[in-house]
Amino acid sequence: MHVEVVMPKMGESIQEGKILRWLKKPGDKIAKDETILEISTDKVDSEIPSPSSGVLVKIIVPEGETVEVGTVIAVVDTDERAQAASPAAPELKLAHGAPQAPEPVATQDVRGPRMPSEGGRFFSPLVRTIAHKEGIAHRELESITGSGANGRLRKTDLLEYLKTRASAPAPGGAAPATVDMAEMLKKYPAPRYEVRVMDNVQKKMAEHMVKSVQTSPHVGAISECDLSRIVAYRVNAASAFEKSQGFKLTYTPFFFDATVRALKEFPLINSSVEADKVIVKKFINLGMAVASPTGLIVPVIKNAEEKSFLGLARAINDIALRTRNKKLMPDEIMGGTFSITNYGVFGNIIGTPIISQPQVAILGIGAITKRPVVVTDEQGNDSIAIRSMCYLTLSFDHRLIDGALGGQFLEAIVKNLEEFDFEGLS
């Protein structure tokens, strides 16, 4: 039996995906749930498993192509005879002896269902929908250069065109959606230069960061925090924790736990701005910046306010592993209400992070370093001691959060960390 592999729907807002790499070739045996390709969406790169065991008999959509959700991209033959005949050359024979007609497979355009325009070009329903929403007539749509196969107009082409539409020449003379690589290589010749093409995730991250700076007037506040008690606790509890839980105890859950408690105390930080309205969330979805093979990704720990310290630690470990192994679903990097980035893992002590829209603040964690500080005892006597210190930075949206609120929130996190209650953690 032939089983169709389709471009999966990776989230409610995901309408299409780009095939980055096929990990199997025609004729290869594959097991059910074995990874056969990598795809990229507007949100994240993901590994896609095979829906059935069998032999990959046909790859319909090649690497580099972007197609809509539901499009057939490959065919798997689950017949035992096909598996017995494998491995074979790319022109796979399903059985020895007399040739047999292959089982019919429902055909579908490799670029998904498309609709004709008045001029004869075909456009996908998604492109049509965007064009209708933006008031682009058929004639203007015909004039836009497409970067897909055979000049097909992709969603990204249309979105790029819309950015410059107001200043672009009249329909019929629209500029290409992307910079010509040949021209780039002339401008930056090898071997003195290397020209790289940004992938989907990098492009979307760049757009998101530019939009954030344009949307929110960023203000920063910095506080220092004495983590000596937490450092000592971690040293003493690390071995027993790893033995009982199966993963290492890091400092991250301490920061997350302290932040959740501070957000409960200052709920306005856990909100967003829509025109002249403030939307205060009654739940806490913490975004956690993670360095992945394809760049920085911010997966989200949903309903963090409902989790204990141990629950946060488990969620952090799980989501970090799946981010680095490309096992995230796009929905898992959406819906954040507040984000945390730990640039301290690279040795940086202070940073100025950019807010992730539509959130109104982001916490930056610097490296934990030992240094001499002045400490005051209960009698008011000062002395110099060696402490494990850390700088915490809060970038916040000054449209909503003033310096007083931002400063009080940051100091609440510091207090929660310095006075951390370890009872019940071990």
Question: What is the spatial distance between Cα 215 and Cα 279, in angstroms, rounded to a whole number?
Answer: 16
Contact 208, 359 (CB under 8 A): no
Q: How many CB atoms lie within 10 A of CB 204?
A: 17
Crossing angle of helices 309-324 and 252-265, in 10° steps, is: 120
Is 398 in the active site?
yes
Question: What is the spatial distance between Cα 299 and Cα 231, in angstroms, rounded to a whole number?
Answer: 26
Question: Residue 302: CB partners within 8 Å, gap ≥ 6?
Answer: 283, 285, 335
Question: Residue 263: CB partners within 8 Å, gap ≥ 6?
Answer: 269, 270, 284, 305, 338
21: β partners: 38
Is 402 in the active site?
yes
* Helix extents (H) in 266-361: 309-324
The DSSP-derived string for 5-39 is EE----STT--EEEEEEESS-TT-EE-TT-EEEEE
Residue 275: both structure tokens together: 């025109």
Give the active site residue among 33, 132, 208, 402: 402
Contact 83, 95 (CB under 8 A): no
Q: How far is CA 203 from CA 16, 200, 207, 213, in A?
A: 16, 5, 6, 16
Give the active site residue among 138, 377, 398, 421: 398
Instruction: With CA atoms as reference, report the closest residue to 337 among 360, 310, 313.
Output: 360
Catalytic residue numbers? 398, 402
